[in-house]
Chain A
Amino acid sequence: MTRFAHPAWFYTSDEDYLAALVPFITDGLAAGDPVAAAVPTPRLDLLRDALGGTAREVYLQDMAVVGANPGRILSSVLTEFADRHPDRHVRIVGEPVWGARDSADYPACVRHEALTNLAFADRHATILCPYDVAVLPPHVLADARVTHPEIWSTAGRDASDHYAPDQAISKYNLPIPHPAHATTFTVTTPAGVRAARTAITRAAAAAGLDTAGRADLEIIVTELATNSLTHGGGHCEIALWTENALLLCSVSDAGRFTNPLAGTTPLTAGQPSGRGLWLVHHLAHLVRVHTTEQGTTIRAYLELPTASQDQAE
């Protein structure tokens, strides 16, 4: 058996979906592989029902929850499960892209799929990613052919002729400038981090972010600015603005993002650094990265409370 396999499963119906996934799971269990599946509701219910009593043997998670931020999937879903079974070949169903998913998430989803190949290159795992051909647009399926070395469909299992995960990362390494009306703040010294935290949090409160959200934003701003000061050229520009029910905060510096996996793989007890961006991925609803030779921008999205939540407070 190959050490690592990462096929995409192009399905067109619920029957298709189960026709591949159920045997993938049960064959894995029969072979003694630990098996996990992270798929979005309502697919999760469909899969659980089809598995019947076997479902208890599978680590099932709602991808819409655990994978809400695609930048968290590698560390809290895939690697987390594999690390719990260090000497075993694991099977995982991971469905990070679905029809109703917010289009803003998509570049981060592609990045996640591409990085999976890098993160699992030396591991014993098969990660099967279902793609709903009936609803996903052609460019999404084309991207899946670039991020997956194998494509499975009802027609058979083939190596992808387009497999080139680095190209997918480049393609979605898109500029993420902040709008002109954003509140901005420049940090040039360690003492400036505190001032930025205060100013940004005040602006976020004015934009409607609640107390708990502001506590998260304080951590996000601090960690990103700290990274800029220590690794990113020594200064950064922070921007804050809202788009619909989201609050967006970006931090731009002159640093280069040299390790594409930074912040996306699980932390280890003794690691001396690298926790800051990981924390940002776990606090934010979505994290986008744009990096060039000239600098890096990291943008974190936070959800603003809805009107009904406001009333409950």
Chain B
Amino acid sequence: MHDHVCWGYRDPDDFRDHAGEFLVDGLALGQRPQYVVTSQDAPSALARLRRDPRLDRAVRDGVLRVTAIDSAYAGEAAVDPDAQVDWYVAATRDAVEAGFAGLRVVGEATPLVGTAGQFDAFARYEHLMDRRMPGVPFAALCGYDLTVLGEPAVAQIAVMHPFTNLDRPGFRLCGSSLPGCSVALGGELDLANADLFAAALDRTELPVVDGTITLDCTGLEFIDHRALMTLAERAGDATLVLLTPRSGPARVVDLLGLRSVRVERPA
């Protein structure tokens, strides 16, 4: 899976140490490192990163760039999800043109999701970005401060990432590299995350191709009948195709007679 991680933290220094490892991995891969943080927090973040001699050198060489987010996201303005995706895709292209293997970004994103409108727009951006990532040499570690946002809120954004350090969500709705799929549903869906799943679907436009929504469910370990019905409902008039090697979803679809849903084995 593509390298897109949601990291909830309680201590910024813990996050920055983890971010440092993430960026060092990127240096080894030849990716251009970038650190996105408020100008207020930038000095302490940078100081922490520079404890690692490899990152210290990357800063001195001008390879590791720090981008301040204050100017772009001042006040209560929310991101434009599509524009934000385009911006990072262009930045990745720039990195490749400059001779890097790709772009590797760490973001301290908490200040970007302060209001309900910002939160919703950023969660949509996270999902759309994730859908683009399988085809773009772009990797990102997104840090969210649990002491500010609370774990339930961070979980709503975590589900848009293939990887997270949180236990709570239990599932993910993210990008897919399976041919014919642009969205993957993974993990386990049941009573515990039913509300989280509905909220994630609220922020996701499932891609309809020729009247069909095809979801990569190769990583979906379990889905209960309620989540399956929620999904079928959200597909509207489109036929929903779930690609999975497991027998459970087909059993439930057959028994409940969900005519708009087909379960197929991935090629």
Residues of A within 8 A of B (CB): 189-191, 193-194, 197, 211-212, 215-216, 218-219, 222-223, 226, 229-230, 267, 275-276, 279, 282-283
Closest A residue, CB atoms, query B170:
A194
Instruction: Decide yes or no whether B48 CB sits under 8 A from chain A.
Output: no
Q: Are the CB atoms of A215 and B188 closer together than 8 Å? A: no
State in angstroms the CA–CA spacing of A223 and B251 once bound together: 14
Q: Are the CB atoms of A222 and B190 closer together than 8 Å? A: yes
State in angstroms the CA–CA spacing of A191 and B190 once bound together: 9
Q: Are the CB atoms of B255 and A282 closer together than 8 Å? A: yes
Instruction: Decide yes or no whether B88 CB sits under 8 A from chain A.
Output: no
Which residues on A sit within 8 Å (CB–CB) of B224?
Answer: 219, 222-223, 226
Can you pick out 22 interface pairs between chain A and chain B where the beta carbons lie within 8 Å of each other? A191-B168, A193-B192, A194-B190, A194-B192, A211-B247, A216-B248, A218-B222, A218-B248, A219-B224, A222-B222, A222-B224, A223-B224, A223-B225, A226-B191, A226-B224, A226-B226, A267-B256, A275-B256, A279-B255, A279-B256, A282-B255, A283-B251
Which residues on B sit within 8 Å (CB–CB) of A282?
Answer: 255
**Interchain nearest-CB distance for A212 vs B (Å):** 5
Instruction: Decide yes or no whether B109 CB sits under 8 A from chain A.
Output: no
State in angstroms the CA–CA spacing of A222 and B222 once bound together: 10
Q: Are the CB atoms of B246 and A215 closer together than 8 Å? A: yes
Instruction: Decide yes or no whether B252 CB sits under 8 A from chain A.
Output: yes
Which residues on B sit within 8 Å (CB–CB) of A219?
Answer: 224-225, 248, 251-252
State in angstroms the CA–CA spacing of A4 and B252 once bound together: 33
State in angstroms the CA–CA spacing of A193 and B246 once bound together: 19
A223-B224, A223-B225 known; A193 and B190 CB under 8 Å? Answer: yes
State in angstroms the CA–CA spacing of A223 and B246 once bound together: 18
Name A216's contact: one of B188, B190, B251 (CB within 8 Å): B251
A223-B224, A226-B224 known; A190 and B191 CB under 8 Å? Answer: yes
What DSSP secondary structure best describes chain A's contact surface?
A: helix
**Interchain nearest-CB distance for A72 vs B (Å):** 11
Chain B, residues 168-194, CB within 8 Å of chain A (1/0): the string is 101000000000000000001011100
Using C-beta atoms within 8 Å of the partner chain, give the interface range for chain B: 10 to 19
Name A230's contact: one of B191, B225, B246, B255 (CB within 8 Å): B191
Q: Are the CB atoms of B192 and A191 closer together than 8 Å? A: yes
* 19 further interface pairs, Cβ-Cβ under 8 Å (given A216-B248, A275-B225, A283-B255): A190-B190, A191-B170, A194-B170, A197-B222, A211-B247, A215-B251, A218-B222, A219-B248, A219-B252, A222-B190, A222-B191, A226-B191, A226-B224, A229-B191, A275-B256, A279-B225, A279-B252, A279-B255, A283-B251
Closest A residue, CB atoms, query B195:
A190
State in angstroms the CA–CA spacing of A218 and B224 once bound together: 9
State in angstroms the CA–CA spacing of A293 and B188 once bound together: 34
Name B191's contact: one of A193, A267, A275 (CB within 8 Å): A193
State in angstroms the CA–CA spacing of A282 and B222 once bound together: 18
Which residues on A sit within 8 Å (CB–CB) of B246?
Answer: 215
Which residues on B sit within 8 Å (CB–CB) of A193?
Answer: 190-192
State in angstroms the CA–CA spacing of A194 and B222 once bound together: 9
**Interchain nearest-CB distance for A264 vs B (Å):** 14
Chain B, residues 219-238, CB within 8 Å of chain A (1/0): the string is 00010111000000000000
**Interchain nearest-CB distance for A227 vs B (Å):** 10
Closest B residue, CB atoms, query A278:
B255
Which residues on B sit within 8 Å (CB–CB) of A189?
Answer: 192
Closest A residue, CB atoms, query B245:
A211
**Interchain nearest-CB distance for B141 vs A (Å):** 26
Which residues on A sit within 8 Å (CB–CB) of B168?
Answer: 191
Chain B, residues 187-227, CB within 8 Å of chain A (1/0): the string is 01011100000000000000000000000000000101110
State in angstroms the CA–CA spacing of A311 and B36 once bound together: 58
Q: 5 nearest interchain CB pairs?
A: A190-B192, A215-B248, A215-B247, A190-B191, A191-B192
Q: Are the CB atoms of B222 and A212 closer together than 8 Å? A: no
Which residues on A sit within 8 Å (CB–CB) of B255?
Answer: 279, 282-283
Which residues on B sit within 8 Å (CB–CB) of A194?
Answer: 170, 188, 190, 192, 222
**Interchain nearest-CB distance for B172 vs A (Å):** 14
A197-B222, A219-B252, A279-B252 known; A226 and B190 CB under 8 Å? Answer: yes
State in angstroms the CA–CA spacing of A211 and B251 once bound together: 13
Closest A residue, CB atoms, query B187:
A194
Which residues on A sit within 8 Å (CB–CB) of B170?
Answer: 191, 194
**Interchain nearest-CB distance for B199 vs A (Å):** 15
**Interchain nearest-CB distance for A169 vs B (Å):** 26
Which residues on B sit within 8 Å (CB–CB) of A267?
Answer: 256
Closest B residue, CB atoms, query A227:
B191
**Interchain nearest-CB distance for A271 vs B (Å):** 11
